Structure 1
Amino acid sequence: MNQDRSRTAYQESAAGLARRALGALRGAEGTAMVAAHVESAQDPGAALAAIRILGADTFAPVVLAGAPLHPEDAAAIALAFSALPPGRDVPLPPPAGPEGPWLMAWRDWGTVTLLTVLTGRGGARLTAPRPALPADAAPADDAAGWAEWSVRMGQLSTLALPGLDGPVHDAARRSPLALARGATRAVLRRDYPTAARIARWLAWLRSDGVRLPLDAGPLVEHIGLLAGGDRPALDTAISRRLIAL
């Protein structure tokens, strides 16, 4: 399989896993949805890669809807990390290092951290070091660079879940206005996938008790009406649950 076909297979598998997670979040999916995704896949390697891509969102039905974490799901997530292990070196934050590996390292940290919290033992066998943040981790309200920063935060939206907290979350707490501007900008540009990801941070901040410069509820509903695709649908559903908290 060439690189383009491999990337397409990973993206399609990740979309399928996002549909399963959305179904589980709504109570329409059976138990062990992650394991079922791997077992039913024509390409098990792509299915395991999808777990790494979806990241901590595989736990959304557990931490937001109270669904139990099935042992087979925990095993499937652990298998994804053993079959496709993260690099041993902690990636440098941009611009000192490339953005892609750094973002993936943060997503891996979120997945492994939640697995450890939810299993109490299974996740402890996995390691995913927490990267550092770049110097522009949280722009001031009147500072330039908020647009690029908010997009980067959107790329880390899988961390916007209960049970996770760290430097990225502290950065979100320090810059709610920048996130509100970023989500609004994405909506105006009709970039609804990006808007859905950034809006998740606003929903998370609301659930965390942070005062926001806009009402996250109508924004999330507006994005939900216009966004298409499995991943934006999952992001919007997660935001609704966070707001309900």
Structure 2
Amino acid sequence: MSPDQSQTAYAASAADLALRALDALRGIGGTAMVAEHVEGADDPKAALAAIRVVGADLFAPCLLGDTIFSPQDAAAVTQSFAVFPPAVSTPPPPPEGAAEPWLIAWRDWATATLLARFTDPAATAEPVDALGTYGAPGPQLGGGVLAPRPAGAPALSEPEQGPATASAHAAGIDTGWQRWSVRMGQLSPLALPGLEGAVQDAARAAPLALARGAVRAVLRRDFPTAARIVRWLALLSAEGVSVPFDPAPLVEHLRLHGGGPRLALDVAIAARLLALNLETP
């Protein structure tokens, strides 16, 4: 199989798994969606890669609905970590390091954290010390760290208003909140109840930047990015954090627009979050 064919197979498998997660969130389908996805795949390796792509969102039907995370699904997720092991040491956050490995490390941490929480009664929590630092190395499963917790979070650096900023806008150059909101959208699988860390703290500190990013994405007709960012707004709203606008109409607009299983899953998760009443940590 050529590299292009392999990438196509991986993308198709991830879309199929996202659709299975969406069905489970809606109360449709079997009780072991992840395991069934792997067992029925023509390319089991692509199916295991899809688990890592969809990641923590595989737990959304359990966190936001009545679905039970089955032992078969837990075994499939664990196998995906065995076949595609995370890096032993976490990559440095941008700009010291490259963005993509760091984003993947955060998403892997989220998946491993929820896997441990749903499957291992002895799974260790990640305590916060008096300085607000999340001190544990990562989720523990079977006596070891499955995916280490990365350092840092997307940093929002709003530039001062003035002629330079106006020139940047005129030239189409992103300012701080634009880049930051897109980066937070890339970390949208962390916008789920039960995950706590520096990324969630960053979201709570900048709801206006998230709102601006979501609106900008809609105006640019970049609906996948809009759906990912609005998940953060939905989570903040569920926690009782004040957000600049009610995200429900935007969620409905994105739902009506369509755009494939991945976007539909993001929208469905946002809609479920808006129906919750969570306590802010």
Q: Give TM class, smaller chain.
A: over 0.9
Q: Structure 1: any 5+ residue segments left out of the alignment?
A: none
Determine the structure 2 residue equivalent to 1:104: 104
Aligned to 1:158: 189
Of the three residues 144, 149, 154, the one matched with 1:130 is 149
Q: Residue 67 and residue 32 in structure 1: after superposition, are their counterparts in 2 closer, same or farther (change >3 A)? A: same
Give the 5 Å matches for 1:136-175.
137-139=155-157, 144-175=175-206
Which stretch has the larger CA shift, 50-59 or 4-13? Answer: 4-13
Matched to 1:154, the amino acid is G
* Among 189, 207, 232, the residue aligned to 2:238: 207
Q: Distance in 2 between matches of 1:129 and 1:142?
A: 36
Q: CA deviation at 1:93?
A: 0.9
The answer to whether the 8 A contact 2:37-2:47 is kept is yes
Partner of residue 45, structure 1:
45
Is 1:4 the counterpart of 2:13? The answer is no
CA distance in 2, matches of 1:41, 1:140: 46
Look up the SS of the partner of 2:141 in the other structure: helix
Shift of 1:89: 2.1
Aligned residues: 244
Distance 1:6 1:98 in 2: 24
Say which SS state the counterpart of residue 87 (structure 1) adopts.
coil
Runs of 5+ in structure 2 lacking a partner?
A: 124-139, 162-174, 277-281
Cα shift at 1:227: 3.5
Decide which structure has the larger Cα Rg and report it.
Answer: 2
Moved more, 117-126 or 206-215: 117-126
Moved over 6 A (4+): none
Q: Which residue of 1 aligns with 2:256?
A: 225
Describe the shift of the 1:22–1:141 C-alpha distance in structure 2 as closer, same or farther (beyond 3 A).
farther
Please show how residues 27-46 of structure 1 align to structure 2 within 5 Å.
Answer: 27-46=27-46
CA-based RMSD of the aligned residues comes to: 1.6
Give the distance between the partners of 1:14 and 1:193, measured in 2 at CA: 15
How many angstroms does 1:148 deviate by? 0.6
- The verdict on how the C-alpha distance between 1:34 and 1:141 changes in structure 2, with shifts beyond 3 A counting, is farther
TM-score normalised over the length of structure 1: 0.95
Q: Give the deviation of 1:66 after TM superposition.
A: 2.1
8 A Cα contact 1:206 1:243, kept in partner: yes
- Go from structure 1 to structure 2 and tell me whether the alpha carbon gap of 1:127 and 1:39 turns closer, same or farther (over 3 Å shift): same
Normalised by the length of structure 2, the TM-score is: 0.83
Distance (whole Å) between structure 1 residues aligned to residue 219 and residue 51 of structure 2 = 31
TM superposition shift of 1:85: 0.5
Q: Distance in 2 between matches of 1:10 and 1:142?
A: 43
Task: Output the amino acid matched with 2:117.
Answer: V
Report deviation, 1:142: 7.1
Aligned to 1:234: 265
